[in-house]
Structure 1
Amino acid sequence: MPTDNTKEPTTVGKTCFYQGENSTHPLFRIEPGIPCQDAREQASELMGYVRDLIITGLMDGDQKLIWASHYLSAMAKALLDDAELGMMKK
């Protein structure tokens, strides 16, 4: 039975998002151990939703959708940042 000695890079769990008031208390953190490719795919999916929410929010004048897109984009950025840290880890 062949064995694969290469280990797929995973998130490191160091990236926080939505820092709360005055950016002093991180409320959320990316979990360690998520395969980086999966994290990047999910970030791409989130950014697609962000795009749709922004367009709808602007066209309908709905600020709640704009704020929702703001939070989702922060989540997507955190996923990408933590995946990058995982891919740079040796």
Structure 2
Amino acid sequence: MDTTSPTPLGKLGWTVGSATCMDGAVEGQRLFQVIPGNCADHAMEQASILLASARRASYIGVMDDEPVLVWASHYLSEMAKALMDDAHMGMHKSAKA
């Protein structure tokens, strides 16, 4: 894998590819992982969109007694957390460089 940073550098840095989300069928395995080298600014924007969607799905799911929407909210929130965690790690890495 190419270890050089893409250019131009985003204000916040780049994702590092360490954060994962959603448990896999095999214990200790995760289903999804953030890909390294994505702009952390963009990752944070996408996390915000995921959280807004999760909030809406949660509200509708509870109000309309739709458990599938509550589960969707759970998964969207987990994906958003992985994006934010990975972007945060990239910001710290960029600050040290």
Q: TM-score range by the shorter chain?
A: 0.7 to 0.9
How many matched pairs? Answer: 86
Distance 1:43 1:82 in 2: 11
Match of 1:80 among 66, 77, 84: 84
Judged with a 3 Å threshold, the aligned counterparts in structure 2 of structure 1 residues 55 and 87 are, in CA distance, closer, same or farther, namely same
Give the SS at the match of 1:10: coil
Identical-residue share of aligned pairs (%): 43
Q: Which runs of 4+ in 1 moved over 2 A?
A: 5-8, 20-23
Cα deviation, residue 22, structure 1? 7.3
Cα deviation, residue 24, structure 1? 1.4
**TM-score (normalised: structure 1):** 0.88
Q: Which runs of 5+ in 2 are unaligned?
A: 1-6
The residue identity in structure 1 corresponding to 2:30 is P
- Over the aligned positions, Cα root-mean-square deviation in angstroms equals 1.8
Give the SS at the match of 1:32: coil
Cα offsets for 1:17-55 (capped at 9, x unmatched): 002257511111001111010000000000000010011
Greater share of helix: 1
Cα offsets for 1:35-80 (capped at 9, x unmatched): 0100000000000000100110001101000000000000000000
**TM-score (normalised: structure 2):** 0.82
